[in-house]
Amino acid sequence: MPTLNLFTNVPVDAVVASDILRDATKAVAKIIGKPESYVMILVNGGVPIEFAGTEEPAAYGELISIGGLGPSVNGKLSSTIAEILQTKLYIDSSRFYIKFYDVQLLRA
């Protein structure tokens, strides 16, 4: 199950959160190539964040997936999520960082 955790210091109301959840779910599913029914997105607004020495609007994300990640996919995901945050929360893409975790499935 691909899971995207987003944290931002920008307060996020329910309507904006819903828009981000919808857009990010569609983007992650499409780019990774998994059904939307497998994708989970969490949005945490109003989190104290200092990035590059300031508390200006910023965001941090962690995307965890069993497979489907790699350099080209990660780049596309990063720019797409940054665009969503720019559009919905006015966070400049230079103030967004995302960490990718490609989890290997352990088989017994």
Taking a C-beta distance cutoff of 8 angstroms, is the pair 65, 2 a contact? yes
- For helices 71-89 and 14-32, angle between their N-to-C axes, nearest 10 degrees: 160
Taking a C-beta distance cutoff of 8 angstroms, is the pair 43, 59 a contact? no
Structure tokens at 7: 């944290």
48 is catalytic: no
Structure tokens at 105: 């499935």
Q: Measuring CA to CA, which residue among 40, 17, 42 is closest to residue 28?
A: 40
Taking a C-beta distance cutoff of 8 angstroms, is the pair 4, 61 a contact? yes
Q: Which one of the listed residues 2, 48, 57, 71 is annotated catalytic?
A: 2
Residues with catalytic roles: 2
